Structure 1
Amino acid sequence: MSTSEQSESSPPPAVPLQHLPDDPDDGKPPESAPISSASRLSPVQRLLGSTGVLVLGWCLNWPWLGVVGTLLLTTIASRTLVPIGRQWLQQSLAPNARNVVLAWIAAIAALAGLLKYSGALLATDRWLDRVAWDEFGSWADWVGAFGQIAIAVLAVYVAWRQYVISRDLTIQQNLITQQQTIDSYFQGISDLALSDEGLLEDWPQERVFAEGRTAAILSSVDARGKAKVLRFLSQSKLLTPLRRDGHLGRPILDGRGGYAEDREGGVRVVDLGVMLAGSDLAGSDLRWVELSEANAVRANLRGCDLYRANLSRSVLFEACLADANLRSARLFYGRLEDATPRSRALLPDYHSGEFTGAVVENADFTGAQGLSEEQRYYCCAWCGERSRATVPGGCEGVPNRLGR
Structure 2
Amino acid sequence: MTPEPDSSKPTQPQSNVTLESLNGADGKVAGKDGAVVATDIPEMIVPAKSPIQQTAQPTNRIWKANPIALLLASLALMILGLVINNPWLGVSGAIISLLLSLLIIWPFARSVMDDLLPSPLRGQFLAALGILAATLGLLKYLGVYLRLTKWAKQIQWDAVGSLAEWFGALGQIFIAVLAVYIAWQQYVISRDLTLEQNRLTSQQNILTQQQTIDAYFQGVSDLALDDEGLLEDWPQERAFSEGRTAAILGSVDAAGKAKVLRFLSQSRLLTPLKRDRRLGRPILNGDGGYEEDRAYGVRVIDLGVMLAGADLTGTDLRWTELSEANLIRANLSRCDLVKANFARCILYEANLSYSDFKGVRLFYGKAENATPRSRTEYPDYKTGLHTGAVIESANFTGVERLDDEQRYYCCAWGGEQTRATIPGGCEGIPNKLGR
Q: TM-score range by the shorter chain?
A: 0.5 to 0.7
Show the counterpart of 2:373. Answer: 342
Amino acid at match of 1:361: E
Question: What CA distance in whole angstroms lies between the structure 1 residues aligned with 2:172 and 2:334?
Answer: 58
Amino acid at match of 2:264: L
Alignment of structure 1 residues 308-387 onto 2, 5 Å: 308-387=339-418
Deviations 1:296-320 (A, max 9, x none): 0000000111101011000000000
Alignment of 1:177 onto 2:208: yes
Show the counterpart of 1:149. Answer: 180
- Distance apart, 1:246 and its partner CA: 1.6
Deviations 1:178-222 (A, max 9, x none): 000000000000000111111111311100010000000000000
- Distance apart, 1:149 and its partner CA: 1.7
- Distance apart, 1:137 and its partner CA: 3.2
- Distance apart, 1:274 and its partner CA: 0.5
Of residues 258, 261, 269, the one that matches 2:289 is 258
Question: What CA distance in whole angstroms lies between the structure 2 residues aligned with 1:325 and 1:371?
Answer: 8
Of residues 158, 168, 174, the one that matches 1:137 is 168
Show the counterpart of 2:193. Answer: 162
Are the aligned partners of 1:276 and 1:299 in contact in 2 as well (CA < 8 Å)? yes
Question: What CA distance in whole angstroms lies between the structure 1 residues aligned with 2:237 and 2:226?
Answer: 12
Amino acid at match of 1:280: D
Deviations 1:354-397 (A, max 9, x none): 00001000000000011100000000000001111100010011
* Cα RMSD after superposing both structures: 2.6
Question: What CA distance in whole angstroms lies between the structure 1 residues aligned with 2:181 and 2:369?
Answer: 73
Deviations 1:83-132 (A, max 9, x none): xxxxxxxxxxxxxxxxxxxxxxxxxxxxxxxxxxxxxxxxxxxxxxxxx8
What percent identity do the matched residue pairs reach? Answer: 63
Amino acid at match of 2:289: G
Are the aligned partners of 1:381 and 1:400 in contact in 2 as well (CA < 8 Å)? yes
Alignment of structure 1 residues 4-403 onto 2, 5 Å: 134=164, 135-403=166-434
TM-score with structure 2 length normalisation? 0.63
- Distance apart, 1:133 and its partner CA: 5.2
Amino acid at match of 1:140: G
Could you list the runs of 4 or more consecutive aligned residues of structure 1 that deviate by over 3 angstroms after TM superposition?
none
Partner-residue secondary structure (3-state), 1:213: helix
Amino acid at match of 2:345: S
TM-score with structure 1 length normalisation? 0.67
Are the aligned partners of 1:194 and 1:202 in contact in 2 as well (CA < 8 Å)? no
Are the aligned partners of 1:244 and 1:266 in contact in 2 as well (CA < 8 Å)? yes
Amino acid at match of 1:188: G
- Distance apart, 1:162 and its partner CA: 1.3
Question: What CA distance in whole angstroms lies between the structure 2 residues aligned with 1:137 and 1:307?
Answer: 73
Amino acid at match of 1:359: V
Question: What CA distance in whole angstroms lies between the structure 1 residues aligned with 2:383 and 2:222?
Answer: 39
* Pair member with larger Rg: 2
- Distance apart, 1:160 and its partner CA: 1.1
- Distance apart, 1:173 and its partner CA: 0.6
Question: What CA distance in whole angstroms lies between the structure 2 residues aligned with 1:145 and 1:304?
Answer: 53
Unaligned runs of 5+ in 2: 1-126, 132-161
Unaligned runs of 5+ in 1: 1-54, 60-131
- Distance apart, 1:247 and its partner CA: 0.3
Partner-residue secondary structure (3-state), 1:177: helix
- Distance apart, 1:276 and its partner CA: 0.7
- Distance apart, 1:266 and its partner CA: 0.3
- Distance apart, 1:337 and its partner CA: 1.6
Question: What CA distance in whole angstroms lies between the structure 1 residues aligned with 2:168 and 2:292?
Answer: 91
Question: What CA distance in whole angstroms lies between the structure 2 residues aligned with 1:284 and 1:149?
Answer: 45
Question: What CA distance in whole angstroms lies between the structure 1 residues aligned with 2:362 and 2:177?
Answer: 67
Question: What CA distance in whole angstroms lies between the structure 1 residues aligned with 2:241 and 2:390?
Answer: 27
Question: What CA distance in whole angstroms lies between the structure 2 residues aligned with 1:173 and 1:260?
Answer: 42
Question: What CA distance in whole angstroms lies between the structure 1 residues aligned with 2:255 and 2:268?
Answer: 20
- Seen in structure 2, the aligned counterparts of structure 1 residues 246 and 202 have a Cα distance that, compared at 3 Å, is closer
Question: What CA distance in whole angstroms lies between the structure 2 residues aligned with 1:287 and 1:152?
Answer: 51
Question: What CA distance in whole angstroms lies between the structure 2 residues aligned with 1:281 and 1:275?
Answer: 13
Amino acid at match of 1:251: P
Question: What CA distance in whole angstroms lies between the structure 2 residues aligned with 1:138 and 1:388?
Answer: 70
Question: What CA distance in whole angstroms lies between the structure 1 residues aligned with 2:230 and 2:349?
Answer: 40
